[in-house]
Amino acid sequence: MKTEIIFLGPPASGKGTQTDRLSTEFSLPHIDTGKLLRAEIEAGSEEGKIAKGFMSQGQLVPADLVSKIIIKKVMSDEARNGYILDGFPRSIEQADILEEALANAGKNNFDNRIVVKLVVDENMLLDRIINRRMCKNCNKIFSLKNYTSDICDECGGELYQRSDDNEETAKKRFDTYNEQTSPLSEYYAQKSLLKEVDGNTSPEAVYQNILNVLNN
Ligand code: AP5
């Protein structure tokens, strides 16, 4: 199975839902960019203060700030047998930074690498965003469509709605995705790394399709 996995896909396409499960089942570190940035905000760090302004506007946090955090994780001992990148890279600039870091570390072998893009109809995404709830404690992802309690079934933590999960910010996030992240499909297709997976079906069906592409 491929073990150096990059996930692409628009906001609410299901990246977090799928990568959480994949990480648990295959013991691969889940490098979740949005979660790491939200932790910086929560901690009140300098990086968090800068990131907050961009995230609340649905814009990308500056590449140097986010790359520093993510590259450190990719190069860590924990990721020596592989990793799942969720939310990084999100622009050609970030993809070049990642390529350079991997090449400098002697990891230029593409045999274990794959880029999975979740493809979801645009008209479903806003609905998923508005209905998403997260656990404050363990970050488990829920949808009001099939879960109505405000307590996490995993750890008993309180559920909350992300501050960028509103219609106005979501529309800006879609624009940012279309302008800056979409070109990565072509970038990785040219390297023969891109695999598209239909993200419109049930989470279970999406997961099985992801396993198929990882094993082929
Ligand atoms: P981030 O937290 O990464 O947000 P995102 O990419 O917009 O992705 P989401 O977390 O919204 O969605 P998801 O695809 O993980 O979907 P989920 O599984 O939760 O980034 C937030 C912000 O941080 C960015 O806007 C930016 O400002 C900044 N940032 C992050 N990375 C950056 C970078 N590299 N550079 C610069 N800035 C960066 O699912 C969504 C909902 O749908 C849930 O309720 C779920 O239960 C439901 N669902 C999932 N799958 C299905 C399914 N198959 N069917 C029905 N419902 C489903």
Residue 85 has a pLDDT of 98
Instruction: Output the pLDDT for position 199.
Output: 98
Ligand 1 atom at minimum distance from 86 CA: 3
Query: Hey, CA dihedral for 2, 8, 12, 16, is it positive or negative?
Result: positive
Single pTM value for the model: 0.97
pLDDT at 108: 77
Residues in the chain: 216
CA of 106 to the centre of ligand 1 (A): 31
Q: Which residues contact 47 (CB under 8 A, 6 or more apart)?
A: 40, 65, 69
pLDDT at 132: 98
Per-residue pLDDT tens digits for 42-73: 999 999 999 999 999 999 999 999 999 999 99
- CA–CA distance from 104 to each of 66, 99, 108, 156 (Å)? 19, 9, 8, 44
Å from CA of 44 to ligand 1 middle = 22
Percent of the chain topping pLDDT 90: 95
Query: How many A from CA of 13 to the centre of ligand 1?
Result: 7
**What percent helix, strand, coil does the chain show, rounded to 5?**
50, 15, 35
In the prediction, which pLDDT does 141 show?
97
- Taking CB atoms and a 6 Å cutoff, what residues make up the pocket around ligand 1? 9, 11-17, 33-34, 37, 54-55, 58-61, 66, 87-88, 90, 94, 128, 131-132, 141-143, 173, 199, 202-203, 206
| pLDDT beyond 80 at 142 | yes
67 CB contacts (<8 Å, ≥6 apart)? 88, 94, 97, 98
Q: Please state, in angstroms and rounded to a whole number, the distance separating the CA atoms of residues 52 and 42.
A: 10
Q: Active-site residues: which are they? A: 15, 90, 132, 162, 173
